[in-house]
A and B are shown apart, each in its own frame.
Chain A
Amino acid sequence: MLEIRIHGRGGQGVVTAAELLSLAAFREGQYAQAFPSFGSERMGAPVTSFCRLDAEPIRLREPIDRPDVIVIQDPTLLASHDVLAGLSTDGWLLVNSSRGFAELGLADWVAQFRPGRARCVPASELARQHLGRPLPNAALLGGLAGLTGAVGIDSITSAIRERFAGAVGERNSAAATAAFTLSRTEPVPC
């Protein structure tokens, strides 16, 4: 089973991201469970969502305390919340940032990860380019596909188009594909 936790803020599509990821995995014949950690949601408030992927039906209903993968949609959360809790250096880390891990203060820790398993992707910038709005969730899903290989990029873009018809779906798919491509290239040393 692969367990993924996504952190962001209200309005960034954190819950939708977990849902789309589960939809992409479902398209590939995996069992997938996506669920939010709901508070009384407000724009800008920290939001967490969860996704489990497995070859078997999923019975567990507990939140994910020890994720295999963490996605950070808003890096300002790193300073104020323990969003990396439970992630070991055997896992995967994807952060929405145009800076590097050094500037985020994570370089030493991230250096212990296996090669290619921790990555910053400028998802908000990609979203601005492709959607005209800094909504990073679709781009990060593309990055997640590139980083982990847990789902294919085609499944991600199909899931996005299935959920969002027309131009919205196309633009988000383009952002996801751009982030996917970027995440498959060698990271800029930082």
Chain B
Amino acid sequence: MLKQLECSRAIAETIARCRPQVVCAYPITPQTHIVEALSELVRDGSLSPCEYINVESETSALSVALGASATGARAYTATASQGALHMAEVIYNVAGLGLPVVMTLGNRAVGAPINIWNDHSDAMALKDAGWIQLFARDAQESLDLHVLAFRLAEELSVPVMVCVDGFVLTHSVEPLDVPSQEAVDRFLPPYQPVQVLDPADPVSIGAMVGPEAFTEVRYLAHHKQLQVLTRLPELAAELAQLIGRPSGALLHPYRLDGAETIVVAMGSVTGTIEVAIDELRAAGLAIGAVALCAFRPFPLAALAEALADARRVVVIERNLAPGLGGALASNVRMALRGRAIPVHTVIAGLGGRPVTRAALRPVFESAARDALDDLVFLDLDNAAIDRELARSGERRRSGPAAENLLRDARRPR
């Protein structure tokens, strides 16, 4: 049933219907509302049995989830940005041990400079840690993906990170349908661990592995991820039957019929891109879009197929890989190897800068004329950059760039 809800609240209610037995949390903006709401649901008995564990840091939060998962409990946590980096070592360990923890990442920029707003820097810093990474294109999908995530995680014994754009999605209030308890119960069977710390049948988990077997253990992690490429679409179809809407996929195509220019993006920018594409289609431009839901594993074959008729690709990239461009565009190029078509990287929406139709439309039009640069920074204030470069060229001790640019931005012109 549709209700007007804050997305974070609705995610918490969805998590509760997945019946986690252990939730451990350390608050960090912008995911805090999710774990706050979960703490209420545990306290008032709506989520039971479940142990809600307050911890003193993100490293502890995920360590508790790791331990809980190893004893056979369904475990959940959430984090963002610096919090994700704080727990980075444990993130690798959870994946390396093959423990099916589900974690929400309320996507936020990574400092310095400190910034609480949305981009994908945190997810991209952890893209190769061995977790499945699913990106929600809208608020509704950010609910449904969590249900899929528990099933995928537990079936394959691999952790899943559900990436939800901070503020843009987490703090949006809109009509949302929390999947019913009945649908979730039918979709998500009780967790059957493949490995479990059980005093009655003791094993050790976390062996030191030398060169004789390390590559094979790592290969198996890759093998698991590849299975997701088949299982995710199957499970998404099964879930769609139960909740009555399509949600979750390797990727979501949009108006690809005859599209010569195809935009590739992830997350909440999808809706704005679709509106821009509708406007450009109405003006006669042959343009479409692909929203990736699965970033890890990366759906090389599905994306290659979606882009088969493209003459050029524009990647809207909500992160910056300094010295290269963007992680998403690099991965998209992998799907296009052997094809001699331009793949433009558009760095957009860093640190919460809005990505608007007004900014996107000319970029898409320019790409369609083959007049777009290879690497573009959307809405970059080039004059401010030039002034700072001039200042730093004038004298050695020009001071911190972040403070300089803030002062520059506040100066009336």
Q: A38-B116, A61-B268, A61-B272 are in contact. Are A23 and B4 (CB under 8 A)?
A: yes
Interface residues of A in 37-66 (CB under 8 A from B): 38, 40, 58-63, 65
B316 → chain A closest CB, angstroms: 12
Report the minimum CB–CB distance from B364 to chain A (whole Å). 15
A60 & B357 in contact (Cβ 8 Å cutoff): yes
Contacts of A22 in B (CB 8 A): 4, 173-174
Choose from B172, B275, B357 the contact partner of A33 (Cβ within 8 Å): B172
Query: Is A113 in contact with chain B by the CB < 8 A criterion?
Result: no
Given contacts A19-B173, A59-B272, 6 further A-B contacts (CB under 8 A): A34-B174, A35-B167, A36-B167, A38-B171, A59-B271, A60-B275
When chains A and B are docked, how far (Å) is the Cα of A18 from the Cα of B269? 21
| Min CB–CB distance A33 → chain B (angstroms) | 5
B171 in contact with A61 (CB, 8 Å): no
B357 touches A31 (CB 8 A): no
| Contact A33 to B171, CB < 8 A, known contacts A22-B4, A59-B271, A60-B271 | no
Task: State in angstroms the CA–CA spacing of A36 and B272 once bound together.
Answer: 17
Among A33, A34, A35, A40, the most chain B Cβ lie within 10 Å of the Cβ of A35
Q: How far is the CB of B98 from chain A (nearest CB, A)?
A: 36
Across chains A and B, the number of contacting residue pairs, with CB separation under 8 Å, is: 65
Q: How far is the CB of B133 from chain A (nearest CB, A)?
A: 20
- Residues of chain A in range 1-25 having any CB-CB distance to chain B below 8 Å: 18-19, 22-23
| CB contact list, B344-395 vs A, under 8 A | 354-358
Chain A nearest CB, measured from B93 CB (Å) = 33
Complex CA gap A33/B168 in Å reads 11
Q: Which residues of A contact B172 (CB under 8 A)?
A: 33-35, 61
Complex Cα distance, B2 from A23, in Å, reads 12
Interface status of B274 (Cβ within 8 A of chain A):
yes
A contact face: mostly helix, strand, loop, or mixed: mixed
Given A19-B6, A38-B116, A38-B167: A59 touches B275 (CB 8 Å cut-off): yes
Name the CB-closest residue of A to B169: A61
Asked, given contacts A22-B4, A60-B275, A61-B272, whether A33 binds B174 with beta carbons under 8 Å apart, the answer is yes
Q: A18-B173, A34-B174 are in contact. Are A40 and B116 (CB under 8 A)?
A: yes
5 smallest beta-carbon distances between A and B, as pairs:
A59-B271, A26-B4, A34-B173, A62-B356, A33-B174
Residue pair B269, A61 in contact (C-beta under 8 Å): yes
Which of A23, A26, A32, A62 has the most chain B CB atoms inside 10 A of its CB? A62
Task: Check if B356 sits within 8 Å of A65, measured CB to CB.
Answer: yes
A175–B167 Cα distance when bound, in Å, is 30
In the bound complex, residues from chain B placing their C-beta under 8 Å from that of A61 are 168, 172, 268-269, 271-272, 355
Contact indicator B271/A32 (Cβ below 8 Å):
no
B278 nearest CB neighbor, chain A only: A59
B1-33 to A contact mask, C-beta < 8 Å, 1/0: 010101000000000000000000000001000
Residue from B171, B274, B354 with most neighbouring chain A CB atoms (10 Å): B171
Min CB gap A45→B, angstroms = 14
Please report the C-alpha to C-alpha distance between residue A34 and residue B355 in the assembled complex, in whole angstroms. Answer: 17
Complex Cα spacing A164 to B357, Å: 37
- Determine the chain B residues whose CB is within 8 A of the CB of A32 once the complex forms: 4, 173-175
Bound-state Cα–Cα, A61 to B269, Å: 7
Which positions 261-297 of chain B face chain A at CB distance < 8 Å? 268-272, 274-275
Q: Are B171 and A62 in contact (CB under 8 A)?
A: no
Scan residues 77-131 of chain B and give those whose CB is less than 8 A from a CB of chain A: 116-117
* Across-interface contacts of A27 in B (CB, < 8 A): 4
User: In the complex, how many angstroms separate the beta carbon of B2 from the nearest chain A beta carbon?
Assistant: 8
Are A63 and B4 closer than 8 Å at their CB atoms? Answer: no
Pair B174/A58 contact, Cβ less than 8 Å? yes
- In A47-93, which residues have CB < 8 Å from any B CB? 58-63, 65
Do residues A59 and B171 form an inter-chain contact, with CB atoms below 8 A?
no
A18 to B117, CA, bound (A): 20
Whether A33 pairs with B173 at a CB distance below 8 angstroms is yes
Complex A-B: 5 CB contacts under 8 Å: A26-B4, A35-B167, A35-B171, A35-B172, A61-B269
- CB B177 to nearest CB in A, in angstroms, measures 12
A26 lies within 8 A of B356 (CB) = no
Q: Which of A38, A59, A63 contacts B354 (CB 8 A)?
A: A63
Give chain A nearest CB distance to B184 CB in angstroms. Answer: 23
How distant is the Cα of A65 from the Cα of B167 in the complex, in angstroms?
18
Q: Which residue of A lies closest to B114 (CB)?
A: A40
Residues of the A chain whose Cβ atoms lie less than 8 Å from the Cβ of B30? 38
Closest to A40 in B: B116
Q: Which residue of A lies closest to B139 (CB)?
A: A33
In the complex, which residues of chain B have a beta carbon less than 8 angstroms from the beta carbon of A62?
Answer: 272, 354-357
CA distance A60 to B117 in the complex (A): 18
What is the CB-to-nearest-CB distance from A65 to chain B, in angstroms, rounded to a whole number? 7
